Each structure stands twice: as C-alpha cells, then as structure tokens.
Amino acid sequence: MARKTNLILIGIDSLRADHMSLYGYPRLTTPHIDKYAARGCVFENNFSPHIPTTPGYGSMFTGMDCFGMDVVALRHQGGLDPKLTTLAEILGGGGYSTSCVGFSGNPASRGFQKYIDFEGWGSREQGRSPKAENLNNVTIPELKRLAGEKKPFFLFMRHMDPHSPYLPPLPYERIFYDGNELDKKNRSMDPVWKFKPFCDYFASWLPTGCTDKDYVIAQYDGAVAYMDACIASIFTSIQELGIEEDTLVVIDSDHGETLHDHDCYYDHHGLYECTLHIPLAFVMPGRIPAGKRFSETTQMKDITPTILDVLGVESKIKFDGRSLVPLMDGGARTPEPEFYITECTWMRKHGWRTPQWKLIHALEPDFHFKPEVELYDIVKDPGENCNLAKKEPAVVAMLEARLQAWIKKREKETGRPNPMYTNLNWHGKGCGPFKTSRQAYEGMHIGSPKAAKGLQARELQTQRGAKKL
C-alpha cells in the first residue's frame, strides 16, 4: 500500500501579498518562494477575512468562518469549541504524526501531538533578530525525524520575520535602503512618534532618532527577504530527503501588515486590503499542476477542505470553506466574490467587501479617532485613501443591508449570535466596549517587544497531548 501524502504547512505571520515579488512587488523580496511556488498553483486573490492571528489561523485550521468557529479576537478567551475539529486532530486521528513549530499555547493550534518553540521576537538590545534561522534550527531536525518514520506526517511552522519588530540580520538591514534614516529634515516619522499607544514599543526596536518611514518599510521588506532565504533551506531539505512527490507543501499567512498605511503603523489592524490580502500557494509535483495562477477570490476557510481533498482524507465535517481542487484540476467552482470581514485586534470593527466596494463599520470607538463608517471604491481607489461614506449613502445602505442579511443567515445556521456582538472583552482590559476614542487611546499601550509577545502568547495550559520542548 502506498504511503499517505505528507503535509508541510508554512504559515508566515504578518505577510502582506503586495510586498512579495511573487505578487508583482518590484523589490525582489521572495525569489525562493517565487521559484518554488511556480512548481504549483498560486492564488492571487486570497483573503484572511477575520483579523488577526487567532481567528485567522483558527479559520485556516478548522475550515470555518467566524460564525462557524465562534472566534474573532486575538485575545480569545478560552479554547476552541470542543465541537470543532482542527486539521491537526483530523490528520492525527487518521494515523499522521503531527508537529507544530512556533505556535504553542494559541487556541487555534489545538490538536498537535508535539509542540516546538523558538525565539521568534527580538529587541534592539539583542541586536539583529535571526528569527527564521532560529526556526530552521528546530524545524529541520524535526522534519528529518518525521520523514524517517513510517507514518505520514503533518508539520506546521509559524514564521515570525515579517511581524514587528522588524530586525533582519545583516546584510538584509540595508538591502533595500541606502538613505539616512536619521536625516532631521525628513519628517515622515513624526506621526509615528506622536502615537502614544505604540510609540514606546517602536522606540524599543527602531534606531533612536529615526526620521524616515522608508527605512522602516525597508526593514520589513528586508525581513521578508531574509526569511525567504531561510525558507530555501526547508525546500532543500524536502528535496534532499526525497519526499517531494509524497508531500503537499502549502504556503500562506494569517494576515497582512499595515506599514505606513491608514495611520495604523507597523502592525496588523484595520480592515484594509494590506491586512486582508495574503499569499496562498500549493505545491506537490505530480499532483498539483505546475505554473498555474488563479484570480478567483479565496479565503482562509478554504484551505483545510483543499488540503484534505488533495490528501484524500475523508471527513464528515460540513466546512464553511470549499475545496480549491476543482479549480486546480481545470474545472469550475462557484465563486464567492463578496464576504464578511471582522477585526478584534486593537479595534472592534466589521464590514463587507465586494469586488468594487469595501464597507467598514466600527462597533465601538477606536484609538485612531476614525469615523464610525468608512466606504471605499477599491477599483478606483485601491489604496483606500478616500472615504466615500458621506458622498455615497445609498451604497453604504446597500452594503450594510447585505452585511446584516449575512449575519442573520449565519446566526440562524449556527444557532448562536454573531461573536462580534458577544466578545466584548476582545482587548483584554476587562472594561467592556470603549465608550470613546479617547478612552481607547489612553487605555491601549505596548511598551516593549516582551509586552507585545505577552499579548500574543499564552502559557500552555490545557493543550491535549501537548509536548512543549
């Protein structure tokens, strides 16, 4: 009997598609991923509708939308609903060895048999941060161990290089920048240093006196390029182990990143395209056709059904997402061009996205003092810089009606209220919804990379069958 297909899932935190050369970015940030993905299928309009990490990866691992998994917040309270079954649990129950690198303790990572940690953060005091090399140091030995077993395996790795702090090792620090980041005539960083909630955090890892936003963006791009070079080592190991034709490799992200966009500096909040639009690629020689790119809209919830379809693993679960295999095999798939979007990172908002329009509706005041309703024509204004909410009230009403109809439909199907309405301690402050933007502005603060890491990571407590190394 032929051995079952292995699965390697490369999840890259905070990687926006439009800063990858894979998606046409002019800087050569992902040459190794570009070359590898060309051997399979690339999806050009893939979205993470539920921001940030916990609901993003929660949707990916369960095949559900936010209603189906009942998760919307980064700081989700408690674990996943016991009625949900994760991809790791499905494969583990089907005889797979399952290992998770760099994502222990998060509710979305439930069900792996083995958890391995690595240092994926860093600070200016520690110097340049070799996050991807740290990951390789623990991942490649684990990959070799798994490949040496008779059982099929599922290996998930969570890369952290595009996540702030952006501290790529030399020479990647200046590979995309030859200016003077301390030029006092440059005032582009002034609003960043004036933003009280994050300014202390930025000061902990950016150069003292940094004045040029382009330097910071170059650090992000440099971190992506550095990580890409390190991921090449993973690709090499797959080849050297002789498991290429027996292994499905999937590359994606949990969400994108806001750099100097929309006043949401160097983070991943805001329901803008830079945060929602993420990469997705499937590679498996002999099974996944090579050199194909698809423009159809896809979402995180489609990934688990697709993986199970490729692996030939049957499940009785009724996923919210749908397999992409029909497209990859040259067939048709009913499109889903418009969809519900949510965020509970540093702001609690939801909205509706169509091929032309983006509606963003704040459910409570945010710390950027933004208007309650934002409307963008993403065809004419892809940068989402001109809020048309006041000029186009009929469009706002139409989109709001579609949004509310979808909520009503999904609430009826799941038998529970929209989690955006019930998860009121999404910020972890214990005060319920913010009443004013000033309250949010004064109440939310990150002081250091250690503090930021603490907001994303939980102590591993009740992971079933977990072994933390």
Place of tokens 């090399």: 133
Buried b (16+ CB within 10 A) or exposed e, 358-369: bbbbbbbbbbbe
In a domain, 344, yes or no: yes
Beta bridge partners of 468: 115
Alpha carbon distance, N-terminus to C-terminus of the chain: 34
Residues in the chain: 469
At which of 293, 310, 337 does a domain end? 337
- What is the CA 149 to chain-centroid distance, rounded? 31
**Do residue 332 and residue 346 come from a single domain?**
no
**Do residue 331 and residue 390 come from a single domain?**
no
In a domain, 36, yes or no: yes
Q: How many CA atoms lie within 13 A of 297 on its CB side?
A: 14
Q: Report the pLDDT value the prediction gives residue 455, as an integer from 0 to 100.
A: 54
Report how far residue 24's alpha carbon sits from residue 36's, in angstroms, rounded to the nearest whole number. 16
Residue spans of the chain under pLDDT 50: 1, 458-469
Contact 199, 444 (CB under 8 A): no
Would you call 405 helix, strand, or coil by DSSP? helix
**Do residue 161 and residue 188 come from a single domain?**
yes
Q: Report the pLDDT value the prediction gives residue 78, as an integer from 0 to 100.
A: 85
CATH number at residue 12: 3.40.720.10
Contact 98, 154 (CB under 8 A): yes
Helix (H) or strand (E) holding 115: strand 114-116
In a domain, 1, yes or no: no
Q: Report the pLDDT value the prediction gives residue 450, as an integer from 0 to 100.
A: 64
- The pTM of the full predicted model, rounded to 2 decimals, is 0.94
Contact 306, 282 (CB under 8 A): yes
**Do residue 203 and residue 273 come from a single domain?**
yes
In a domain, 452, yes or no: no
Strands 114-116 and 280-283, by their bridges, are: unpaired
In a domain, 150, yes or no: yes
**Do residue 328 and residue 343 come from a single domain?**
no
Buried b (16+ CB within 10 A) or exposed e, 207-243: eeebbbbbbbbbbbbbbbbbbbebbbbbbebbeebeb
Q: Report the pLDDT value the prediction gives residue 440, as an integer from 0 to 100.
A: 94
Contact 82, 434 (CB under 8 A): no
**Do residue 313 and residue 433 come from a single domain?**
no
**Do residue 424 and residue 279 come from a single domain?**
no
**Do residue 299 and residue 419 come from a single domain?**
no
Residue 468 per-residue DSSP state: B
Provide the residue range defining the domain that includes 377: 339-443
Specify the number of domains making up the chain: 2
**Do residue 243 and residue 261 come from a single domain?**
yes
Q: Report the pLDDT value the prediction gives residue 128, as an integer from 0 to 100.
A: 86
Report how far residue 126's alpha carbon sits from residue 377's, in angstroms, rounded to the nearest whole number. 44
In a domain, 415, yes or no: yes
Would you call 192 helix, strand, or coil by DSSP? helix
Beta strands in 325-372, from DSSP E residues, in sequence order: 339-344, 348-353, 357-362
H helical segments located in 105-264: 131-147, 190-193, 196-203, 213-240
At which of 337, 369, 404 does a domain end? 337
In a domain, 438, yes or no: yes
**Do residue 236 and residue 362 come from a single domain?**
no
- Condensed to tens digits (0 to 9), the pLDDT of residues 307-337 reads 999 999 999 999 999 999 999 999 999 999 9
- Condensed to tens digits (0 to 9), the pLDDT of residues 215-241 reads 999 999 999 999 999 999 999 999 999
CATH number at residue 393: 3.30.1120.10
At which of 337, 362, 393 does a domain end? 337
**Do residue 237 and residue 331 come from a single domain?**
yes
**Do residue 278 and residue 416 come from a single domain?**
no
Report how far residue 466's alpha carbon sits from residue 469's, in angstroms, rounded to the nearest whole number. 10
In a domain, 226, yes or no: yes
